[in-house]
Amino acid sequence: MKFKQFYLGCLAHASYYIGSEGEAAIIDPQRDVQQYLDEAEANNQKIKYIIETHSHADFVSGHLELAEKTGAEIVFGQRAKTTFPTHLVNDGDVLPLGKINLKFLETPGHTPEGITILAEVEGEPLKMFTGDTLFIGDVGRPDLVGSKGFSAEQMGAMLFDSLQEKILPLPDETEVYPSHGAGSLCGKSLSKETWSTLGEQKKVNYALKPMSKDEFIQVVTANQPEVPAYFPVSATQNLKGSLALDKLPKPTNLSTEEVEKFDGVVVDLRQNFEFGAAHIPNSINIGLSGQFASWAGTLIPIGTPVALVAENLKEVDEGFMRLARVGIETVKGFILISEFTGKTRSIEQISVEKVNELLQENEIQFVDVRRVPEFNTGHAPKTINIPLDKLSMELEKIDPSKPTYLICQSGFRSSVGTSILENAGFETIYNVTGGTKAWIEAGLETESSLTACASSK
């Protein structure tokens, strides 16, 4: 068996190549598909199947382009309502792949059409590709399909049955390969590990502990993260199919005047300290160094014209690609920061030690833009929590006339937040470098909303 996991850190997304003799299958491909073509060529194998475990909400898949370039069949679960030629599989169906049998289990719960794939080959451990049904350390969230006529509770009940009846009875040595890892918004507590065994997951995964169906539903529907606006758009797009990347219009090089008058969103791709030193007014800083695609999809409505600001053309190409992965296909232009000749603005980067000194002296407007569960676990004293995805909608909670200090976990999200506040008219804004991680590492006092008491670390 030829087997390879492709892991895309920006989207915390795993896709898979599996092959035997002269045939191969790709499972849950990302939008840019050249790597799968290269792998097949290196193994002297022909891609026979392109299998989607479900209609993904957090990224746009490249299954249509890959099928056009290889002649492979696109495979979905039988409930998927695709608009292109599709091999729909039912529970128990088997497709041959060289000496491998690919057996399909219907495992609804994250989505109605969700499937799990078992790769069976004599003499090797069973490989199980679980999509978003079972993660390492978590299970798929059941609250993303309200538009499809199911409540989170109904989907949670389906997920419980899928796990109990289809997955948990399999051998403990079965290898588990999910579609996502830590950082994905398709679950709430995914592990950084990208694979495991079923036996290990039975020991450590909270959602696989013995409990009633009602208890399970309550556990898996509680405290889920925000649902980015682009999720339902991507899910729908994946059932229609998307243009090949090389068919998307390429951005043009903009002048200073064109960027200053740009009717859309200007996205600065640079790191927070580069943005802080000097940036184009009214731009928003979503750096390529962090979870760029997820936050761009969260903050930029699909269809909005976008202009990119970068250090070099390589960053422009990377930004264009990563936006396309989440369905943002409206990048109209770009400018290199060295070519911008207009007036710039700056955001001061401030250390955790300096902010702590200010806290001791007087009251300051101190905003933590992390998600609520992160904030509750531990935060700097005297902070108020406004998650980044809600910041532009909850500006009334903070005073634009006061100096405002923003903190997150590392400094990435807080820099995005500073640019949002600058666009909203806040004049004196500080980005706390290193974030809460640096705060804790410096041994500064923290508070926990879970215990409502302070502790010194």
CA distance 19 to 45: 7
If asked whether residues 262 and 296 sit together in one domain, one would say: yes
Q: Are 8 and 36 in contact (CB under 8 A)?
A: no
Decide if 203 is inside a domain. Answer: yes
Tens of pLDDT along 121-148? 887 889 999 999 999 999 999 988 654 6
Same domain, yes or no, for 69 and 191?
A: yes
When pLDDT is averaged across residues 111-123 and rounded to a whole number, the result is 93
Better pLDDT: 404 or 225: 404
The whole-angstrom separation of Cα 251 and Cα 255 is 13
- Tens digits of residue pLDDT in 313-346: 999 999 999 999 999 999 999 999 999 999 999 9
* Statement to judge: residues 186 and 313 lie in one domain: no
For residue 62, is it within any domain? yes
Domain span at residue 25 reads 2-238
Mean pLDDT value across the chain:
93
Has residue 272 been placed in a domain? yes
**Residue 405 · residue 316 · CB < 8 Å:** no
CATH number of the domain within which 55 lies = 3.60.15.10
Quick check: 281 and 275 in contact, CB under 8 A? no
| pLDDT on residue 10 | 85
Same domain, 262 and 405: no
Do 230 and 302 belong to one domain?
no
Is 37 inside any structural domain? Answer: yes
User: For residue 162, which of 41, 97, 83, 77 has the smallest C-alpha distance?
Assistant: 77
In a domain, 243, yes or no: no
Q: Is residue 22 part of a domain?
A: yes
* One domain for residues 205 and 334: no
What confidence tens digit (pLDDT) does each residue in 163-216 have? 999 999 999 999 999 999 988 888 787 899 999 999 999 999 999 999 999 999
**What residues contact 394, with CB distance under 8 A and at least 6 apart?**
386
Confidence of residue 85 (pLDDT cuts 50, 70, 90): very high
Q: What is the pLDDT of residue 189?
A: 79
Q: Cα angle vertex 84, ends 78, 85, to 5°?
A: 65
Closest CA to 167 of 101, 127, 108, 116: 116
Residues 366 and 318 in one domain: no
Residues 28, 167: one domain?
yes
Domain finish residue from 322, 339, 356? 339
Residues 294 and 430 in one domain: no
Averaged over 1-7, what is the pLDDT? Answer: 96
Q: Are 225 and 371 contacting, i.e. CB atoms less than 8 angstroms apart?
A: yes
When divided into structural domains, the chain yields a total of: 3
Indicate whether 132 belongs to any domain.
yes
Is the domain of 153 the same as that of 223? yes
CATH of the domain at 261: 3.40.250.10
Q: Is residue 393 part of a domain?
A: yes
The one-character DSSP state at 59 is S
Where among 309, 339, 369 does a domain terminate? 339
